[in-house]
Amino acid sequence: MNLPAWVERHADLSSRNTLALPGRAALYADITDAAQLALLREHPMLARTRRFVLGGGSNLVLDGDFDGLVLHVANRGRRLVAEDADAWYVNAAGGESWHPFVLWTLENGWGGLENLVLIPGTVGASPVQNIGAYGLELADRFHSLTAFDMATGAAVRFERNDCRFAYRDSIFKRDGQHLEGRYVITDVTFRLPKNWLPITRYGDVAAELDAHKTKAPSPQQVAEAVIAIRQRKLPDPELLPNAGSFFQNPIVDAESARNLFALHPRMPHYPQADGRVKLAAGWLIEQAGWKGRSLGPVGMYEKQALVLVNQGGATGTDVRRAMEAVRTEVSTRFGVQLVPEPVFL
């Protein structure tokens, strides 16, 4: 059966994931328009094919070949869509690269996303993971999004509550929906506050600003501080393949936290609104002896223990092996279970 000319067969995915893991997709399509999704949904063969929605490939572990259809969201566009007394409402296409989009908002004087600079990936992928860094989560600035529903063929609008955001989670990731490829996020709108206040409570950010004697930082200055921190700590995936922070910061109940602090008084921790306590996964991994340590071609980065890196020639199996070794040692030492951030395909 004939396929649309823009559907590629046996597509190499090794350059389409930032861990540079080998793998091929049986079928692959760059999506620049929602009309393409409607055609794929109506195609007699493709309508029954497994799907996976791909953004920038920065939160992905390839376990090998994928026997389905990869939908790579590649549409472009960004604009101010509305303004009221309290906020600017800025919209971007799902295929826009995240970091350049954030820089664009700052260049236009719209603060609010500066703590999330230099996070790899695309705008459309950002709500799936509810990306976050240095005291800010995407959900804090999210207004709405549009997604094409591959099950019904309709364009669906999701408001903030519809997305069921949680720590590194959303309705788009939950219950395996990211692997079913039902919702393809085509654009996202953000609410950026006019009554802007800097978020500098994380020690690294405060220290970076203090080093430059910045007492009342602008959004651009906060962004510059975060960029400096990330460039010092995190490897460039173009030079050393990685998927950024590989594990979620674990959240434990108050009693477990007290027990841990009694044994490890210097353990970094962040109280949560519901009484639980967030721990620093990077610190746990470093204390377990994994900072700069490797298992075969995979290891934890020497400057940031939270980042798993491919030192050359790794496969998805190698990543799983190293991941489980790290999780086991952290669990043995601290009784804390680490949860990986990336999606496994």
Q: Which of 51, 168, 191, 327 is catalytic?
A: 168
How far the first Cα of the chain sits from its last, in Å, is 26
Q: CB under 8 Å to 332, separation ≥6 — which residues?
A: none
Determine the 3-state secondary structure of 215 from DSSP.
coil
DSSP characters over 7-54: EEEEEE-GGGSTT----EEEEEEEE-SHHHHHHHHHSTTGGGS-EEEE
Identify residue 77 by its one-letter amino acid code.
Answer: G
Q: CB under 8 Å to 302, separation ≥6 — which residues?
A: 291, 292
DSSP characters over 123-182: TTTHHHHT-EETTEEGGGTEEEEEEEETTT--EEEEETGGGT-BTTB-TTTGGGHHHHT-
Identify residue 278 by its one-letter amino acid code.
Answer: K
Q: Which of 170, 245, 327, 329 is catalytic?
A: 245
Q: CA dihedral defined by 155, 114, 280, 234, rounded to 10 degrees?
A: 100
**Pair 188, 181: CB distance under 8 Å:** no
Q: Is 58 a catalytic residue?
A: no
Q: Is 245 a catalytic residue?
A: yes
Catalytic residues: 168, 245, 341
